[in-house]
Amino acid sequence: MDQAIGGASTDKIAMACHVMFSFLFNDDTRTQFAMTVKLSDKENAVETELVARVRALGGRAEKVTVMGTRGFFDRLVILPGGRVIFCECKRPRGGRMSAHQIERARVYTALGAVVAVVANSADIDALLNEQGPRS
- pTM exceeds 0.85, yes or no: no
d(CA 86, CA 90): 13
More confidently predicted of 131 and 109: 109
> Which pLDDT tens digit goes with each residue over 73-118?
999 999 999 999 999 999 888 888 999 999 999 999 999 999 999 9
**Domains, the chain:** 4-37 (no CATH), 41-128 (3.40.1350.10)
3-state helix vs strand vs coil in the chain, percent to 5: 35, 30, 40
How many helices (H) does the chain have, and how many strands (E)?
4, 8
Quick: pLDDT tens for 13-57: 333 333 333 333 334 444 444 444 445 568 888 999 999 999 999
pLDDT value at residue 129: 87
Q: What is the pLDDT of residue 91?
A: 85
Name the DSSP class of 28.
Answer: T
